[in-house]
Amino acid sequence: MRNPDFIVIGAGITGVRAAIELAPHGQVAVLTKSKLQDTNTEFAQGGIAVAMGGDDEVGLHFDDTIRAGDGLCDEKTVWTLVEEGPARIQELIDWGTPFDQEGGKLAFGREAAHTQNRILHAGGDSTGREIHRTLIGKVLSLESVHLMSESFVLDLLMEAGKCRGVTYLNEETSRVRDLTAQAVLLATGGLGVLYPATTNPDIATGDGCALAFRAGASLADMEFVQFHPTVLKLPGAPPFLLSEALRGEGGRLRNANGELFMSRYHPHNDLATRDVVSRSILAECQRLKSDSVFLDATGIDSEFLQQRFPRIFQTCLEFGLDITREYIPVYPAAHYIMGGVLSDGQGRTTRPGLFAAGEVACNGVHGANRLASNSLLEGLVFGARTGRAMVQEPSSFVPKQRDSLKIDEWPVDQTASPSTLKEAIQAIAHEDLGAVRSKEGLESALAGLLEMSFSVHPKRSDQEINNLLSNARLVAGMALVRQESRGAHHRTDYPSRNDPVWRRRITARYDSQKAKVIYEALPITRDLHSQQSIDSVTIS
């Protein structure tokens, strides 16, 4: 296509919702590196949280989100999330999303750390898939939106510190070309593939974070990686997520001896926050020298269990496990990152023309630990808000553009590392960047990651490895800087939360003149374009 007015990178819930908002204001190109259905949204089982039913109130949703965020949420963006959430859900209903009902009314469930029943589901445990299907149907009806699959973004086009487009690879034609626009949105999702065991699909390689970092934008809170506590652990089975809603409906965690154990770790028992449950499982496995614990759903009515969780029931059955009668072996796996590209409530980043929303962004809405089922709502609310903000971006500048190139015409660094680098990166992440960390492990991880070199060949597989490496360094670096335990970041050498020193946002940016990564500790809420910081630490 010709150069559009707006570029959206990513076709999940955030990117598609932004494209719908942008459609009346110009031509929109939505680039996705794979097929339209290959998104994290499609894998979201648990549901979407919203204060719309019964005695629930947005203020209660706000309180639960703040509590889960462990002192690091930006209250302004959290309020935006919970206040605008009902309107975004009503849009989905109007557009045809078939949310589950009881007695002709929306059915609300409960998950960990929620004090009210506020979790909507669609198709039982297919919420993300149903929402995404609705949004894709909506966007396909808009003539100004152009969906470009198999289009992998290699780099952001920067001019005088401003983002003016992208360089991307069309994998169908093997050609590399530039695409310019007045504003670019990163909606690329998370980085779960950094870890060998993850609930994320293979596409979750943290591309957006790496693109922004190379462009000189600030990233924040990358040390906060959330591990989902209940992921299927069976020989030959993938790390399949077992929704938190299973525990919300009465499922219980048992150790290798079949004993209930969560009461020893937290007063909320099985419905404690994900970071607490994950660390409790790890502690119990270490205590009993076992490789998993069990999720017991046998106390839930068999017929209800199959109707409420059809995908989970069928998937487990395919691996010889009947969850209505047998315990389910589970173990924590990488699930979501609270950190990402530093942004505000309008999706603006520290680089003009560049926007970020959804899991790739860090606007403070999740703090140090995301509240269950807030992620889909975040994509809707901030996808729409960011779309509106992008319309206001000045459009007078048009950068130079080069002709498209074939892959074999692209200049290649012959010293580039092989793709086997991926396994080495994942091994370090598994060993030292998991749910429990230490100074020695983090220092070893960062040293090992800094010794690895980048590949610059414009093949998608090589570029994804590059992006994983960038993200691994950022996770290790920020985890080393934060000398406390908070939310999803737990250090054995600093086991307590330390508000007087560390109730701040850790940011990182690449200083090309100094050839260093600059780490700064900044206020939770701040002007993104301010040059002032409270404190700064440099790790070269």
Instruction: State the catalytic residues.
Output: 274
Q: What number of other Cβ atoms are within 10 A of residue 149's Cβ?
A: 17
On the 0-12 / 13-18 / 19+ scale of CB atoms within 10 A, 387 is buried
Question: DSSP alpha helices (H): ranges in 396-523?
Answer: 421-432, 439-451, 460-481, 499-502
Residues 6 or more apart from 482 whose CB is under 8 A from it? Answer: 223, 489, 491, 502, 506
Closest by CA to 379, choosing from 142, 127, 182, is: 127
The answer to whether residues 129 and 318 touch, using CB atoms and an 8 Å cutoff, is no
Q: What number of other Cβ atoms are within 10 A of residue 367's Cβ?
A: 29
Helix (H, G, I), strand (E, B), or coil: what is residue 431? helix
First CA to last CA across the chain, in angstroms? 41
Closest by CA to 218, choosing from 484, 529, 7, 433, is: 529
DSSP E strand boundaries for 62-174: 101-102, 105-106, 108-109, 119-120, 145-148, 151-159, 162-170
Question: DSSP alpha helices (H): ranges in 186-331?
Answer: 207-214, 245-248, 274-288, 302-308, 310-318
